Amino acid sequence: MKINVETTSPVERKLSIEIPPERVHQELEKAYVQMGRRVKLKGFRPGHVPRGVLERNFKAEVEREVVEKLVQSTFAEAAQDKGVEPVAPPSVSLDGALAAGQAFRYSATVEVKPVVVPKDYRGLSVTRRTPVVGDAEVDAELAKLQESYAKLVDVEGRDVAQEGDYALIDHEGTIDGLPFEGGKAEGVTVRAAQGKVEEGFLPALVGKKIGETAEFEEPFAADHRNERLRGKVTHMKVVLRGLKVKVPAPLDDSLAASVGIEGIETLEGLKARIRADLTKRETSKAEGELKDALLKAALEKNGFEVPPSMVERAIDQMLEGTVERFARMGVDVRQLDLDVARLRGDLREQALLQVRGAILLEAVAAAEKLEVTEEDLQAELARVALELGLPLQKAQQQMRGKDARAALENRVREDKALALLTQAAIIQNQ
């Protein structure tokens, strides 16, 4: 097999491959034998269809299968032989048709990582933010807890709904005068406030007295989850049955005990724990900002192209992560009417920085001969297991696959390279 490699750009290689006639002949013969075994033609027993008949009926199909097989197998061989490491599937161009007794030629253009010789990555000048947690931040967290432990209580002294009240209602909806599934319910709690009806806000209730009925027209969205309701307009009758207001939990020792943190029984103990957690979070955030600053400073001194496919893959992973986070919160992103194209555009710069940073750190690790030991991997696994609240054994099981282990090694190697940048940097505390 003849192979020629052409560098068409720092992140692209073109492989021109010529497959000898004997290999083409061998693959064609095998393909016709397999075709003869599986086809059924009237007048012939399976496996006994003459070659000429097969060629007249299935020549195009056989040759297409052989071309696909030859390209798939020989490209992998050629790339390995020439030390080309693709980061995405190749773009293949055939140089003529497949013909028995003749060599078969094609070219494959493929993206590769750029060859980066890192420079000036020691002695970078950056600023480290000193994390500060004040009383205001602690009070804000306490207010969130008060809200999460708040209770709905009956309104006293009035029977007319005001903006922001929680209302107990019965409702009945019709479309073109006919009831529809889900249109009728009793004892539903909604909010008498501006907002979307489908999200539980009924502004029409403001000013209504308990026992009174509010009637209004409400259109369903064109992409409503119920296909039969899409674009329809419902006539709603809503009877106000009761009014409630939300009362935050009292800021005292009982709130602290209710949170359920082991060893925390008093308000002062809860405040101390919140302050410690916020300080830990802000410290971690500040360290992350420092690493980002170091990486950006290093990238400013090292310019290089990156394969577009790696950037697109990074965007895909970011979107997948977003979907997973929403799913953990019980939100189906398909109902959010997201503009995916706009989201991809918004994430592109971040993805580009992520990819360039990973490539540069890999180059720094190679230049500094940073090794990843088994002890390093086990320590990282233990850290990840603790962070995710998983048993160590389960985390180890998840990393047994070849790809998972490679990803873990890459992460540890990047961390080592970042630690080297940090140790060699000139850091001013802010």
pLDDT in tens, 139-193: 999 999 999 999 999 999 999 999 999 999 999 999 888 888 888 999 999 999 9
Question: Does the pLDDT at position 348 exceed 90?
Answer: yes
- Please report the pLDDT score of residue 230 as a whole number: 81
Going by the DSSP 8-state scheme, the letter that residue 154 receives in this structure is E
Shared-domain flag, residues 144 and 266: yes
- CATH number of the domain that residue 157 is part of: 3.10.50.40
How many CB atoms are closer than 10 A to CB 276? 11
Question: Does the pLDDT at position 42 exceed 80?
Answer: no
- Domain closes at, from 111, 139, 160: 111
How many CB atoms are closer than 10 A to CB 259? 14
Residue 388 falls inside a structural domain: no
Q: How far is C-alpha 214 from the geometric centre of its chain's CA atoms?
A: 44
Question: Does the pLDDT at position 227 exceed 80?
Answer: no
Q: How confident is the model at residue 58 (pLDDT cuts 50, 70, 90)?
A: confident
Residue 324 falls inside a structural domain: no
- Domain closes at, from 224, 247, 270: 247
Q: How confident is the model at residue 292 (pLDDT cuts 50, 70, 90)?
A: very high
Q: Is 141 in contact with 49 (CB distance < 8 Å)? A: no
List, in sequence order, the alpha helices (H) in 49-202: 51-81, 135-148
How far from 312 is each of 347, 354, 355, 360, CA to CA, in Å? 10, 11, 10, 18
Given the structure tokens 């539980």, which residue do they identify?
Answer: 200
Q: Which of 188-197, 284-293, 379-388, 420-429 has the lowest mean pLDDT?
A: 379-388
Going by the DSSP 8-state scheme, the letter that residue 266 receives in this structure is S
pLDDT, averaged across the chain: 90
Q: Is 414 in contact with 365 (CB distance < 8 Å)? A: yes
Q: Which of 86-100, 172-186, 235-249, 325-339 has the lowest mean pLDDT?
A: 325-339
Residue 403 falls inside a structural domain: no
Query: What's the rounded mean pLDDT across residues 344-354?
Result: 92
Phi (first) and psi of residue 106, to 5 degrees: -155, 165
- Domain closes at, from 201, 229, 247: 247
Shared-domain flag, residues 190 and 276: no
Shared-domain flag, residues 166 and 26: no
Domain residue limits at 88: 2-111
- Please report the pLDDT score of residue 142 as a whole number: 95
Q: How confident is the model at residue 266 (pLDDT cuts 50, 70, 90)?
A: very high
Q: How confident is the model at residue 396 (pLDDT cuts 50, 70, 90)?
A: confident
Shared-domain flag, residues 131 and 255: yes
Question: Does the pLDDT at position 301 exceed 90?
Answer: yes
Residue 424 falls inside a structural domain: no
- Please report the pLDDT score of residue 7 as a whole number: 96
- Please report the pLDDT score of residue 327 as a whole number: 80
Residue 426 falls inside a structural domain: no
Q: Residue 119 corresponds to which tokens in the numbers above?
A: 């420079």
- Please report the pLDDT score of residue 34 as a whole number: 85
How many CB atoms are closer than 10 A to CB 12? 17
Shared-domain flag, residues 231 and 258: no
Question: Does the pLDDT at position 389 exceed 90?
Answer: no
Shared-domain flag, residues 268 and 143: yes
Residue 345 falls inside a structural domain: no
Question: Does the pLDDT at position 8 exceed 90?
Answer: yes
State whether residue 235 is helix, strand or coil: strand
Selection from 106, 110, 86, 85 nearest residue 97 by Cα: 106
Shared-domain flag, residues 97 and 144: no
Shared-domain flag, residues 136 and 279: yes
Residue 329 falls inside a structural domain: no
Query: What's the rounded mean pLDDT across residues 353-376?
Result: 94
- Strands, E, within 76-212: which ranges? 91-94, 104-111, 125-128, 151-154, 165-175, 178-192
Query: What's the rounded mean pLDDT across residues 10-25?
Result: 95
Question: Does the pLDDT at position 337 exceed 80?
Answer: no
Total count of domains within the chain: 3
Question: Does the pLDDT at position 405 exceed 90?
Answer: no
Shared-domain flag, residues 212 and 98: no
In the chain, pLDDT over 90 holds for what percent of residues? Answer: 67
Question: Does the pLDDT at position 398 exceed 80?
Answer: no
Shared-domain flag, residues 134 and 283: yes
- CATH number of the domain that residue 72 is part of: 3.30.70.1050
Query: What's the rounded mean pLDDT across residues 286-296?
Result: 93
Residue 337 falls inside a structural domain: no
Shared-domain flag, residues 18 and 103: yes
Question: Does the pLDDT at position 298 exceed 90?
Answer: yes
Query: What's the rounded mean pLDDT across residues 9-29?
Result: 94
- Please report the pLDDT score of residue 336 as a whole number: 72
Shared-domain flag, residues 16 and 38: yes
Number of H helices, E strands in the chain: 10, 11
